[in-house]
Structure 1
Amino acid sequence: MVLRQVSFWIIRLKKKELDCGQKMGHLSDQEFTKDGGITWWVLVATEAKGRVILSACESFRKKALVFQNGKTEEVITHGIGSVFCPPECRKRGYAQRMMIFLGEKLKTWQTSSEQRCVFSILYSDIGKKFYADHGWEPFNSAHISLPAISSSSSNGTTNGTGSSNGHALEARPLYAFDLPKLCAIDEQLIRQTAIHAPPSKTFIALTPNHARISWHQAREDFVSHELYGRKITIKGAIVGTEPGKRVWCYFNRVWDNPDPTSTENNTLHILRLVVEEKGAFNWEKAGHDEDMEAYVPAIAALLRLARKEALEWKMDDVEIWNPNEVTVRAVKSLDSEAEVVHRDQESIASLMWYGERPHDGPVTGYVDWLANEKYGWC
């Protein structure tokens, strides 16, 4: 058996579902994926006639940053997605064999003397054990959510049904033309991690550049057109106008239900939440104190607009990955019954480390994954 790179592979969905080939073609032609940004892999039996596909997947090249001992290194990483094994080939160890080959292959795939690959990632939908057994260790995978509700009724407390607060902050919509500049600012904020990060750990972050964010939103643009025949214009929300003191987030609508009249299993994800004044590292490590409490109203305002958009586009809820304490308080100001959920089966952020290992323990003991939010998913 051998793992091969191929130009393209497609699994057709049922007639009633969206055409997978069209969608794949659309997504593979984005800034993030073109020019080698996406690679398709297949495991084949070299001795078989016709080279039957035993297992397949894809990998996405991503920009990332590694912070260690006060220094910043620009690296690439590869995110693995769409792992598939034909029904007739299952329970024969083919997926395991493919992952073993792939984990080793990605160490040097598309690297150069100037840019190495220090880790690869995936988001498991089959729990933590299978991929952990093959080297991708699970990292924190939590979220908190709010039900979709109209903005006119979301200024209160529990479930957004309390009395309206006339002094509440209001968020403004973000449009596609707003995003490139904001993404560039966010990238610089992430780069400042080297100033604040302690030397006791290595910190990593996927670069939240515009190419990455717009790829997610190209997915929702395609599906919204197929389901509803109209275009999404609101791409996120922002509070504040003074540079250096703004708070913003990006939206991503995911339809898991093929019925355009139903909201079940449809979610509006917050791809990335940015508090400009605090920067990435200080914000992520923020606890509950008076200084950080000041950001609760701004985040709540972003979420109110997100809930309105969720209702508009037949979403069941709004979801934020790996929220810090301040974000949790903002969510609870809108829904006092909201709770953080620690996932153990779906979308488990998992990482294989190729860099130096200071000890033989779990990678989570010496590597801290910053900004482990939905924008990193693939």
Structure 2
Amino acid sequence: MGDMDLGIPMPTASLDVVFAEATPEQAIIFRKLNSDSWSKPLTLAQYMEAGELLSHTELARNGSIKFWVLHKKSDPLEVVAGCETVRKTVFIREPRLPGTTDAEKPVSIEETTAFGVASVFTNPNYRRLGMANFLLRKLQEVMDKQSAACSVLYSDIGKLYYTNMGWNVFPHQEASLTLLNEGKKLDPESCCTIKTRWLALDEIRQLCDLDIADLKQRLQNCPADGKIHLAFSPNFAQLEQQFAAEETFLKLHMNTEVERRGATTLDGKSWITWVHKHKRQRLVVLRIVTTSPESEARRVEHIWALLNAAVAEASLTGLKSVIVWNPDEATTSGIKATSNAYENDIKVVFTERDGSIPSFRWQKDLNTSNTVWDDNYYYCWC
């Protein structure tokens, strides 16, 4: 996320700029300005149409997505820099010291507001003047006044720039399951005894409700380690935004639709959701959810079955790899089981990403060293 607007800032007063929530006209100007960087392979007309289509999602309709700009005081239509924010829900469990019992300090999960920051962009005519820095400082003031507990952004310009502004880097590992035999269709049920079926969009809202209940319970059950534990809510509105972006791209660029949004085990206790990223020819996993596993070994088997479905979906849609962010121990075991089962068809690599680096800031720049971000997966991305 973001463009390179580094260098030594000059006094912003010399440009006489104003920070404000964008008017509809300014938002259109901002989108046109960033189209050269982000629209490809869509045409400008398609890119603008995509923005209009995405304005009808649940998040957009309820006012959770806002655009912010710096503009010249003398000319409000001269947009100098801009960004967008997405209001999110976050669950926070306060720290409990080792040895603390529920009787001494009952576990409570706070449900509150957070923001995702995205699409930071500076008008090329005003680069290397510190405009993005000034924009984000003003945005931090707004977010803090609105009592947002925290904010997150995903850096594509390295770790240093946003860290210096208070957004600290959190784990950014990923597993890549690359398909080796182009054109070969993989069978999701050829290797694992646990059977799965595909998921359609109209099934996912109910699964999100089950997911949220399970996530809250897991946060309550986190060990008393003296740390703050948090997780962003995997509610339907957040997932729908990613599905809508995928669907809009496919409609405009490829004149096709998405059939399968994920897969579930036949018992309905575990499921996986994903998005197709055709620009980079990847299937990216949003979440893998396993509720009420009988044992950790059984959980691994469920994950294995769901990943089999994911690699099969990649092969069916002409994608070259499946991507999983920050796999935990059980997911890593499931990935390795998938690799072993398809040893001639899949190559697995675990690495640290150098893009989309999750960067987290507490309200008013509170320290993050005692913070654990649970379920730091792609569904959080914005």
Superposition TM-score, scaled by structure 1 size: 0.82
Q: Tell me if 1:334 matches 2:351.
A: no
- The answer to whether the 8 Å contact 1:27/1:218 transfers is yes
Question: Which residue number corresponds to residue 79 of structure 1?
Answer: 116
- The answer to whether the 8 Å contact 2:177/2:349 transfers is no
Question: Which residue number corresponds to residue 57 of structure 2?
Answer: 30
Question: Which residue number corresponds to residue 185 of structure 1?
Answer: 210
- The answer to whether the 8 Å contact 2:149/2:363 transfers is yes
Question: Which residue number corresponds to residue 220 of structure 2?
Answer: 195
SS at match of 2:132: helix
Question: Which residue number corresponds to residue 296 of structure 1?
Answer: 300
Question: Which residue number corresponds to residue 168 of structure 1?
Answer: 193
1:1-378 to structure 2, matched below 5 A, reads 1-8=17-24, 9-10=27-28, 11-12=31-32, 13=35, 17-18=42-43, 19-46=46-73, 48-68=74-94, 69=96, 70-109=107-146, 116-148=147-179, 150=184, 152=186, 165=191, 168-197=193-222, 198=224, 200-241=226-267, 246-256=269-279, 265-277=280-292, 291-335=295-339, 337-343=347-353, 345-354=354-363, 357=366, 363=368, 365-378=369-382
Q: Distance in 1 between matches of 2:213 and 2:295?
A: 23
Q: Distance in 2 between matches of 1:367 and 1:225?
A: 40
Q: Distance in 1 between matches of 2:81 and 2:172?
A: 26
Question: Which residue number corresponds to residue 103 of structure 2?
Answer: none
Offset from partner CA, 1:286-326 (integer Å, 9 cap, x none) = xxxx9423323321221222122223333221111110112
Q: Distance in 1 between matches of 2:204 and 2:290?
A: 15
Question: Which residue number corresponds to residue 287 of structure 1?
Answer: none
Superposition TM-score, scaled by structure 2 size: 0.81
Question: Which residue number corresponds to residue 286 of structure 1?
Answer: none
Q: How far has the Cα of 1:199 moved from its partner?
A: 5.8
Q: Quick one: which amino acid aligns to residue 249 of structure 1?
A: I
* Alignment: residue pair count: 334
Distance 1:227 1:45, change over 3 A: closer
Q: Quick one: which amino acid aligns to residue 338 of structure 2?
A: L
- The answer to whether the 8 Å contact 2:196/2:309 transfers is yes
Q: Percent identity?
A: 26
- The answer to whether the 8 Å contact 1:60/1:79 transfers is yes
- The answer to whether the 8 Å contact 1:85/1:94 transfers is yes
Distance 1:181 1:298, change over 3 A: same
SS at match of 1:323: coil
Distance 1:347 1:34, change over 3 A: same
What runs of 5+ residues in structure 1 fail to find an aligned partner?
110-115, 156-163, 257-264, 279-289
- The answer to whether the 8 Å contact 2:176/2:321 transfers is yes
Q: Distance in 2 between matches of 1:37 and 1:195?
A: 27
Q: Distance in 2 between matches of 1:297 and 1:370?
A: 22
What runs of 5+ residues in structure 2 fail to find an aligned partner?
1-16, 97-106, 341-346
Q: Distance in 2 between matches of 1:252 and 1:66?
A: 27
Question: Which residue number corresponds to residue 283 of structure 1?
Answer: none
SS at match of 1:146: strand
CA RMSD of aligned residues (A): 2.3
Q: Distance in 2 between matches of 1:225 and 1:43?
A: 33
Q: How far has the Cα of 1:266 moved from its partner?
A: 1.9
SS at match of 2:348: coil
